[in-house]
Amino acid sequence: MIIVLKPQPTPEQIQHVLERIEDLGFTPHLSQGVSRTIIGVIGDERKLQATPLQAIAGVEQVIPVLKPFKLASREFRPEPSVFEVKGIRIGGGHLAVIAGPCAIEGEEIFLEIAEAVRAAGANVLRGGAFKPRTSPYSFQGLGEDGLKILKTAGDRLGMPTVTEIMDPRQLDLVCAYADMLQVGARNMQNFDLLKEVGRVDKPVLLKRGMSATVKDLLMSAEYVLSQGNHKVILCERGVRSFEDSTRNMMDLSAIPNAQGQSHLPIIADPSHATGRPDLIPAMARAAVAAGADGVHVEVHTCPEQALSDGPQALLPEPFAALVDDLRRLAEVLGRTIDACDGVAAV
């Protein structure tokens, strides 16, 4: 850590900073130039992060040398992390193709959609049983009944499943039925929830909050990792912006940006990022070209009857065309897309 003092500090101010650092158990190194004075601090910087050194009189700036996240960082683990869920590898060149409806609406329709995405080449099945809706009057999800349907479909089609958990109280229930836990954009900084999902042995799909920076996202991942669960998959799903012709603004640079700082896989969700089926395939291809470890796409066989996010649902046919494109792209880029080897679609 480097402490930059204000111009012309008094000898008392310099002395006070040096003493304060020593009192905290660190070794200060004073460097007095012609116009500026800086103090290097040697020791485990993270232990100092909670200390308000900036508040000491005469201090202008405190510059950390290390990233505020540790377990999520590239320094901690230089090689990319690869997680396996029911035989499907995600990360390090293995792409996840996660697809399904926004919400699980009933057994028959869910199985129909699941079979369609499986046939198109998706390798993880998604569907929400607990839905975070802006309006309390909107469809809130089928709860445990929905989770049962998700498990039936996953087992029948030999697909791993992912579903959203909104509250720590849902942990045992969701873990009993799903293979992967999704923490949604609205809960990215629900720290109690992050700590709870950090105590289980299932991968966590952590979506970027709609006004969160990449650093915020990595700090949230750190919460999960710090509890012992090292399986976190990040997800770029667009951030709020001034643009009003798309639902959010997809931040493609977040993908190589996060990968440069972290070993964790990062996938892209062009469905929530754009809110528009006409834009989803292009943005999914762009994300994979930018290095994404997979995509997350909402698909529905009858969008006009969907109970949640119908306007952004992709039909199975364009979804299948997209997966074909992704396969070709993956080949060019030296990546792979694992196929589900369970029971064939019925």
Query: By the criterion CB under 5 A, which residues form the site for Mn ion?
Result: 102, 309
Q: Which residue's Cβ lies closest to ligand PEP?
A: 184
Across the strands, what pairs with 310? none
Using DSSP's 3-state secondary structure scheme, residue 124 falls into: strand
Q: Which of 67, 94, 231, 272 contacts ligand PEP by CB under 6 A?
A: 272
Nearest-approach distance from CB 131 to Mn ion, in angstroms: 8
207 binds, among ligand PEP, Mn ion, none (CB under 5 to 8 A by kind): ligand PEP
- Please name which of 69, 17, 52 lies closest in space to residue 213, comparing C-alpha atoms: 69
**Quick check: 88 and 115 in contact, CB under 8 A?**
no
Token pair recorded at residue 167: 């509250």
Give Cα separations from 97 to 13, 89, 177, 278, 292 (angstroms). Answer: 58, 11, 20, 19, 11
Q: State in angstroms the smallest separation of the CB of 179 from ligand PEP.
A: 16
Strands 180-183 and 161-164, by their bridges, are parallel
Q: Scan residues 131-160 and list those touching ligand PEP (CB under 6 A).
A: 132
Judged by CB under 6 A, which stretch of 135-143, 178-186, 191-199, 325-333 contacts ligand PEP? 178-186
Element (H, E) at 180: strand 180-183
Residues 61-120 binding ligand PEP (CB under 6 A) are 102
CB-wise, 139 or 175, nearer to ligand PEP? 139
Our finding on whether 207 is near ligand PEP (CB under 6 A) is yes
Provide, rounded to whole angstroms, the least separation between the CB of residue 145 and ligand PEP.
Answer: 18
Q: Which stretch binds ligand PEP (CB under 6 A): 77-85, 89-97, 180-188, 279-287?
A: 180-188
Nearer to ligand PEP (CB atom), residue 1 or residue 149: 149
Say which residues have a Cβ less than 8 Å from residue 179's Cβ, sequence separation at least 6: 85, 86, 154, 160, 161, 162, 202, 203
Chain residues that interact with ligand PEP, rule: CB under 6 A: 102, 128, 132, 184-186, 207, 237, 269, 272
